[in-house]
A = this chain, B = another copy of it.
Amino acid sequence: MPLSKAKVVDEALRLLDTEGLDQLTMRKLSAALNVQGGALYRHFPNKEALLDAVADKIVEGISEPLPDVPWPEQIRILGSRLRAALLTHRDGARVVAGTFAPGANTVIGSDVSVQVLCRAGLPPAQAGWVTFALFYYVLGHAIEEEAQLRLPPDHDWRTRTDSLDVKVSPQYAAALDSLSTTNPAERFDYGLNVFIEGLLGLQTTQPPQGETAL
């Protein structure tokens, strides 16, 4: 049976989960698939193209249709789906952050977000900017979560600052401590909520102006 593109991507995801992004090479992937290197390059001209395809497979879940609920809840669902998708695979957020050419799932998911925000009253351009902003937030949060997962269990966040010759405020120290004592999902939801509150705030503080309202 000839080697399919989908099979290469699936095996790359499996290697990603077991070895991590820094160890994922075209050479190891060929060996795992038991093919010559050339067979991979017939599907992907280089590692970047392969990683673009892997990234788009990772975010597959964001392209699913949304339930018919108010738009703030739809945005919450989209953000949470993206976070869940990124955290399903080791280094998932780093892989997606490193891609430039968006794949089909990325485009469909972004398009869904833009349409939700347009229905909320944003002009298309601003709906796009907010979609990107949301994407940056989820990606940044997931990258930090991944990094935190790889810390030794006895890691103390204070050691991140103690080695520096900087005196931090009690508030900042408490903020760092909260990283060990709170659930990442709770922190994520809080930030997402600030975002949604902001969109609601723009809706109420600016008078409706037909197509360009919000």
Contacts and interface: CB of A to CB of B under 8 A. Distances in A.
Interface of A: 97, 100-104, 107-108, 110-111, 114-115, 118, 124-133, 135-137, 139-141, 143-144, 147, 160-161, 164-166, 168-172, 174-179, 182, 187, 190-191, 193-202, 205
A103 B164 contact: yes
Contacts of A160: 101-102
A164 B197 contact: no
Given A108-B166, A127-B175, A128-B178, A102 B161 contact: yes
B182 A125 contact: yes
A134 to B, nearest CB: 9
Secondary structure type dominating chain A contacts = helix
B97 A133 contact: no
Contacts of A97: 97, 143
Given A174-B124, A202-B194, A166 B104 contact: yes
Given A135-B140, A147-B100, A172-B110, A128 B179 contact: yes
